[in-house]
């Protein structure tokens, strides 16, 4: 992200033109407020607190944020990492959010990274934040209903994911997911620097970059959602309580309204069955809900395709067709066995022809798949945010068995590594024993 005047010019133009087109469309169906969206605000009372240490400045930002939310009739959910609450003056800021009709949820105490923290320590920190927030909310007749993972890191192992889900259920908190993730936080420092330097041109450019990046993020996540569910689904937008938001939210919310969004209550949106879809995504990075579901669907599709490949291989072998059996190996595949290393598909085919010289020696092949692991990383966009990548590789641990009508069966283990080649999977490494 740059604060140069020319950066994001095309993106900004697209965002502005999209909003303008919707406004000019008037009564067009596309511009009608048919898409509910919840506004959530992380890191209350003030995000990037090191940039805003002055109490009067913190109050000014808070009043400006609340004013623009009120102007658009928005009732937001604010997430509080209680360690951000420095003194009674910060508690007054949180009280202002409550009095304006917004809800406050738990964002842990210390904003720890769950990827780098053991479950016991992380849960203790989250509970510390919940207890502090619950004590604050008690006199207002409010409860802590929601929790959001810092940085959206929900666990990099199945065990960590399960531990937090068990804790949240026991403590009466619901994980408040994000469906429209974005790097809005990254614009705060250049915005403040430009404002402190009195550089109006740079300030305007940072603001345009900010709006453009949010427009791109909204488009990406809504398209992902539409592909997943084939229908419009309510969205949950992540924003941060910062100074650039106080200055530019009005334009953002106006654009959302012009493009057919309706600001909705959190309970309405969460009631959609899409939010009940089970997803057990684990990873070291944080992603929005739709990207998590999409990644799991891609991984399941890859597993299914690879298992079908093994079934086709077994059928070809059982029919005595070694060429078809070996056709799924890459040209430069390697085959590792107790007798040595074979390189290349042609050599692997020749090895099988030598070892299984006739149909009777081949028997019938079957695979028992023991484990399938998909290999996918993450993709970082020009905006600096990330999403799960496509599945680029698959590893399979399986037991192979050769059955014969007149002798004992032979069996062993194999570990296969496959990669996608065009529209199909090919074996690049085979370790069989």
Write the CA distances from 25 to 14, 64, 261, 390, integer angstroms: 16, 31, 14, 37
Domain that holds residue 200: 9-286
**Residues 348, 220 within the same domain:** no
**Residues 282, 298 within the same domain:** no
**Residues 280, 131 within the same domain:** yes
- On whether residue 1 sits in a domain, the answer given is no
More confident residue, 90 or 18: 90
- On whether residue 198 sits in a domain, the answer given is yes
For 367-388, the pLDDT digits (tens) are: 999 999 999 888 776 666 678 8
Final residue belonging to a domain, choices 223, 252, 286:
286
- Segment 10-24 mean pLDDT: 42
pLDDT of 260 strictly over 80: yes
Helices in 107-199 by DSSP H: which ranges? 119-137, 158-171, 188-196
Mean pLDDT of the chain: 91
- On whether residue 167 sits in a domain, the answer given is yes
pLDDT of 20 strictly over 70: no
- On whether residue 4 sits in a domain, the answer given is no
Q: Please report the DSSP string for 48-94 in residue order.
A: SGGG---HHHHHHHHHHHHHHHHHTT---EEEE-GGG--SHHHHHHH
Q: Which pLDDT score is estimated for 366?
A: 97
Element (H, E) at 373: strand 364-375
For 140-190, the pLDDT digits (tens) are: 999 999 999 999 999 999 999 999 999 999 999 999 999 999 999 999 999
Distance CA 17, CA 11 (A): 10
pLDDT of 27 strictly over 60: no
In sequence order, what are the residues at sequence separation of 6 or more whose Cβ sits closer than 8 angstroms to the Cβ of residue 65? 41, 241, 245, 246, 249
For 51-87, the pLDDT digits (tens) are: 999 999 999 999 999 999 999 999 999 999 999 999 9
Q: Which pLDDT score is estimated for 198?
A: 96
pLDDT of 12 strictly over 80: no
- Segment 351-377 mean pLDDT: 94
Final residue belonging to a domain, choices 259, 286, 313:
286
- Segment 9-23 mean pLDDT: 43
Q: Which pLDDT score is estimated for 387?
A: 82
**Residues 254, 303 within the same domain:** no
CATH number of the domain to which 251 belongs: 3.20.20.370
Q: Which pLDDT score is estimated for 28?
A: 33
- Segment 114-126 mean pLDDT: 98
- On whether residue 103 sits in a domain, the answer given is yes
**Residues 300, 282 within the same domain:** no
Q: Which pLDDT score is estimated for 52?
A: 96
State the DSSP code for 180.
B
- On whether residue 146 sits in a domain, the answer given is yes
For 296-341, the pLDDT digits (tens) are: 999 999 999 999 999 999 999 999 999 999 999 999 999 999 989 9
pLDDT of 31 strictly over 70: no
Do 263 and 39 contact (CB within 8 A), yes or no?
yes
**Residues 279, 319 within the same domain:** no
For 399-422, the pLDDT digits (tens) are: 999 999 999 999 999 999 999 999
Final residue belonging to a domain, choices 239, 254, 286:
286
**Residues 91, 222 within the same domain:** yes
pLDDT of 284 strictly over 80: yes
- On whether residue 229 sits in a domain, the answer given is yes
Number of domains in the chain: 2
**Position of tokens 């929005």?**
288
CATH number of the domain to which 422 belongs: 3.10.450.50
pLDDT of 342 strictly over 50: yes
**Residues 223, 319 within the same domain:** no
- On whether residue 2 sits in a domain, the answer given is no
The sign one gets for the Cα dihedral 261, 222, 174, 287 is: negative
Q: Which pLDDT score is estimated for 87?
A: 96
Q: Which pLDDT score is estimated for 386?
A: 74
Distance CA 125, CA 210 (A): 32
**Residues 279, 161 within the same domain:** yes
Distance CA 152, CA 403 (A): 50
**Residues 271, 302 within the same domain:** no
Percent residues over pLDDT 70 in the chain: 91
For 219-259, the pLDDT digits (tens) are: 999 999 999 999 989 999 999 999 999 999 999 999 999 99
**Residues 135, 19 within the same domain:** yes
More confident residue, 205 or 7: 205
Distance CA 52, CA 123 (A): 29
**Residues 172, 310 within the same domain:** no
Q: Which pLDDT score is estimated for 384?
A: 65
pLDDT of 14 strictly over 80: no
More confident residue, 218 or 27: 218
């Amino acid at each position: 992200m740059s604060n140069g005047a020319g950066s994001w010019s095309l993106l900004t133009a697209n965002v502005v033109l999209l909003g303008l087109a919707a406004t000019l469309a008037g009564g067009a169906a596309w511009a009608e407020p048919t898409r509910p969206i919840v506004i959530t605000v992380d890191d209350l009372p003030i995000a990037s607190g090191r940039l805003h240490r002055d109490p009067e400045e913190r109050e000014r930002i808070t009043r400006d944020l609340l004013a623009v939310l009120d102007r658009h009739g928005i009732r937001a959910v604010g997430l509080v990492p209680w360690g951000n609450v420095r003194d009674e003056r910060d508690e007054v800021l949180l009280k202002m959010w409550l009095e304006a009709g917004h809800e406050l949820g738990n964002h842990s105490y210390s904003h720890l990274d769950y990827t780098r923290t053991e479950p016991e320590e992380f849960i203790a920190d989250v509970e510390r934040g919940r207890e502090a927030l619950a004590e604050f909310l008690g006199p207002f007749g409010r409860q802590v209903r929601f929790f959001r993972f810092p940085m959206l890191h929900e666990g990099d192992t199945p065990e960590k994911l399960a531990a937090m889900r068990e804790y949240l259920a026991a403590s009466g908190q619901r994980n408040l997911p994000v469906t429209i993730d974005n790097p809005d936080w990254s614009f705060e420092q250049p915005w403040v620097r430009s404002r402190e330097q009195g550089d109006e041109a740079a300030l305007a450019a940072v603001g345009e970059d900010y709006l453009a990046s949010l427009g791109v993020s909204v488009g990406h996540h809504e398209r992902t959602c539409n592909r997943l569910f084939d229908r419009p689904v309510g969205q949950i937008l992540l924003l941060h309580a910062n100074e650039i938001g106080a200055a530019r939210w009005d334009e953002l919310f106006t654009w959302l309204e012009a493009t057919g969004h309706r600001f909705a209550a959190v309970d309405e949106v969460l009631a959609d069955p899409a939010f009940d879809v089970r997803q057990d995504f684990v990873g070291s990075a944080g992603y929005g809900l739709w990207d998590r579901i999409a990644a799991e669907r891609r991984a399941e599709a890859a597993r299914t395709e690879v298992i079908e490949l093994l079934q086709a291989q077994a059928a070809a072998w059982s029919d005595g067709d070694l060429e078809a059996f070996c056709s799924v190996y890459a040209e430069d595949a390697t085959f590792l066995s107790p007798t040595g290393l074979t390189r290349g598909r042609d050599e692997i085919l020749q090895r099988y022809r030598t070892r299984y010289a006739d149909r009777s020696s081949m028997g019938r092949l079957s695979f028992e798949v023991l484990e399938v692991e998909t290999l996918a990383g993450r993709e970082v966009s020009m905006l600096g945010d990330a999403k799960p990548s496509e599945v680029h590789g698959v590893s399979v641990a399986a037991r192979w068995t050769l059955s014969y009508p007149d002798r004992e069966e032979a069996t062993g283990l194999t570990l296969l590594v496959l990669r996608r080649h065009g529209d199909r999977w090919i074996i690049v490494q085979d370790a069989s024993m």
